[in-house]
Amino acid sequence: MAACPEGTALLTVDVGNTTTACAVFKGETIVYRRHVPTPEKWPAGHLRVLLSEAWRTKITAIIVSSVVPPLDGTLAADCKKILGRKPLFIGHRTLTGIKLKIDRPSELGADRIADCLGALKIFPTPLIIIDSGTAITFDLINKKKEYCGGSILPGIGIAIRSLAENTAKLKNITFAVPASPVGTNTVDSIRAGIFFGYVGTLTHLIALYRRVLGSECKVIATGGLIRYFKGRVPGIDRFEPDLLFYGLKSIYDLQPALA
């Protein structure tokens, strides 16, 4: 299938539980990025906050990964009104070239599907994909290019808020990488427990999944919070902050009626 034409300005949008982000592709290159907090309700015209005025007349196609379905309708209406384009929302039925070998494919988040396609542009199978955001997710693709499952655990922000909400003497804190695993005050103890606990969890899960997929499998990590673990978790072959956007671009290129 032919790739996105050079003259096309493709808007890729990721609507997450915490953050909504976008990237604009000209050919194979990202030429614009922006992220904003995800609103509880998508206000009319909110797309103007996400996409600068200079790019609004240049967009010729839109593809969206959304894990917040209540926002999809108003986002689609915004795209139509402001950009004059109907967006493609990806899901488990979208053509991707990956077989979803799990119990209920409809439960798989669009962001995780996009991450997998992004990883396939970088490494051959088998693959382990880690995305660290509101939640930390692991996704596995075997040698047959089948999505065979993964795991989900609370992200750093959720873990800190849970401690603050459920423990009377602990307050919510701003996370930072601790200098030592031994905390000598409450704040540093929380940071040490969360950070080094997650380092151990990520390291252990990578080892477990390599036993499932084979020792030759590659591990690629993405997500805004993965920066905390860069260089600190053994076994990660590459960190790619734009993985999801490259995945959306790859999915767009696969759609016969669009590419």
**Active-site residue list:** 111
Task: Show the beta-strand stretches assigned E in 204-252.
Answer: 218-222, 238-239
| b/e code 20-48 from CB counts within 10 Å (16+ = b) | bbbbbbeeeeeebeeeeebeeebeeebbe
What are the C-alpha distances in Å from 175 to residues 134, 165, 167, 191, 213?
Answer: 14, 16, 17, 6, 33
Sign of the Cα torsion 237, 242, 248, 253 reads: negative
- Report the chain's terminal Cα–Cα distance, integer Å: 8
DSSP assignment of 29-42:
EEEEEEEEEPPSS-
113 exposed, middle or buried (CB, 10 Å; 0-12, 13-18, 19+)? buried
CA distance 33 to 10: 12
Q: Among 113, 158, 98, which residue's Cα sits nearest to residue 134?
A: 158
Q: Are 88 and 258 in contact (CB under 8 A)?
A: yes
